[in-house]
Amino acid sequence: MDEVTCTGTEGTLFDCQYSKHHNCLHSEDAGVVCSSGTARGIRLRGGDEKNQGLVEIYAHGLWGTICNEGWGIQDANVVCRQLGFLEAVFAVRKSLWGEGDSVILMSNVQCDGSESTLYGCTFNRVHNCTHSQDAGVKCKKGEYYTTNNKYNTPYKHYSYSITFKR
C-alpha cells in the first residue's frame, strides 16, 4: 500500500483510499500504536478501571450510548473483544457508571458471540429508551484477544493477525 488516505471513519485500513502501485522500501514501512480504551469506535466510560464502564460507540461524528433492551452477555463479549479483552465478566443492564449525555445510537442489540464488532450484530436504531437504560460491561482484566482477518481487495488478497495485550 502507498499514499494511504483515511478519514477516520473506516472500519479497516483497506477501506481507506490508497495506491495499488508503490515504490517503497521496507525502511519506509508504517506502524501503528493504539491508545488504550478506544478501539474502532468503541469505548468504556465512567468505570473505576479501564475494563469496565458505560459502553459508548462512535457514529456520525459523535459518541453515543446503547440501550439495554435485549442486552446480554453475548453482546458484552463482543464489546470486550472489540476492546482487546478476551471476554466479559458480566453485562450491565442499568447505568452503574452514570448516564450518557448524547444520543442513544443502538437498541435491542443481538449478537451470537462470533462477531468481531458490535456492527456485525443485529440491532435497532429506533427505540423508546432513556439514558437510565444505558448498557455497560465489565471485561476480564489482563487478557488479550487475537484477530485473524482476511480481506479481498480488487488488487490482492490480504490476511493479517493482530494480538492485543493489556
* pLDDT digits 0-9 by tens, 6-54: 877 776 777 788 888 778 887 777 766 554 444 568 999 999 999 999 9
Q: List Cα–Cα distances, 8 to 53, 77, 155, in angstroms.
A: 24, 25, 22
Confidence class for position 77, pLDDT limits 50, 70, 90: very high
44: helix, coil or strand? strand
**135: exposed, middle or buried (Cβ count in 10 Å: 0-12, 13-18, 19+):** buried
31: helix, coil or strand? coil
3-state secondary structure 60-97: CCEEEEEECCCCCHHHHHHHHHHCCCCCEEEEECCCCC
List the beta bridge partners of residue 5: 17
**21: exposed, middle or buried (Cβ count in 10 Å: 0-12, 13-18, 19+):** exposed
Task: Give the span between the Cα atoms of 113 and 134, in whole angstroms.
Answer: 20
Confidence class for position 4, pLDDT limits 50, 70, 90: confident
Q: Write down the residue that cell numbers 466479559 correspond to.
A: 88
